[in-house]
């Protein structure tokens, strides 16, 4: 299993969610986060001193999937959230050791 963690522009969430549903992703976790990338937050809507880091609001969207689906889903994510503009986001891919459906005690990628 693999966890895909996408840090995205909040306005892209609905498009991403709809695309992932089509590809059979059955659960998502969303967190409101703040962060900066290469432009230290200045590429988008410049404000304030260039030397100061500006934290920009983003959403972190996490979902765990069978590892075989990762290459396809990375494509899906990029197409769904990409606009070609600075600050579009980043995607991280993280191995997951095991998973449990609490109601039944089932384990492994069958619960995804
Ligand atoms: N190395 C990193 N580790 C953790 N989070 C990161 C990292 N880089 C970026 N992020 C998160 O991703 C968000 C979006 O990053 P962003 O899209 O600006 O990346 P970038 O590398 O600057 O690319 P671009 O040049 O297209 O803006 C940041 O606000 C931050 O929350
Ligand atoms: Mg950036």
Is 65 strand, coil or helix? strand
Average pLDDT rounded to a whole number, residues 42-57: 75
The closest-lying atom of ligand 1 relative to the alpha carbon of residue 88 is 17
| Low-confidence winner among 17-21, 41-45, 63-67 (lowest mean pLDDT) | 41-45
pLDDT of 46 higher than 80: no
CA distance 7 to 27: 17
CA of 110 to the centre of ligand 1 (A): 32
CA distance 109 to 112: 5
CA of 32 to the centre of ligand 1 (A): 15
SS3 labels along 32-60:
EEEECCCCCCCCCCCCCCCCCCCCEEEEE
Q: What is the pLDDT of residue 68?
A: 97
Mutate to test the pocket of ligand 1, among 90, 93, 94 (most ligand atoms within 8 A of CB): 90
Of all protein residues, the one whose alpha carbon is nearest to atom 28 of ligand 1 is: 36
pLDDT digits (tens, 9 = 90+) for 68-111: 999 999 999 999 999 999 999 999 999 999 999 999 999 999 99
Spans of all domains in the chain: 2-32+58-111
Domain with residues 2-32+58-111, CATH architecture: 2-Layer Sandwich (3.30)
């Amino acid at each position: 299993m693999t966890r895909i963690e996408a840090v995205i522009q909040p306005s892209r969430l609905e498009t991403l969610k709809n695309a992932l549903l089509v590809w059979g992703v059955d659960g998502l976790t969303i967190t409101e986060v703040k962060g900066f990338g290469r432009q230290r937050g200045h590429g988008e809507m410049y404000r304030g001193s260039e030397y100061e880091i500006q934290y920009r609001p983003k959403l972190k969207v996490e979902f765990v999937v069978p590892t075989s689906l990762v290459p396809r889903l990375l494509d899906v994510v990029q197409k769904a959230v990409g606009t070609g503009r600075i600050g579009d986001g980043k995607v991280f891919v993280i191995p997951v050791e095991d998973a449990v459906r609490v109601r039944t005690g089932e384990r492994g990628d069958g619960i995804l």
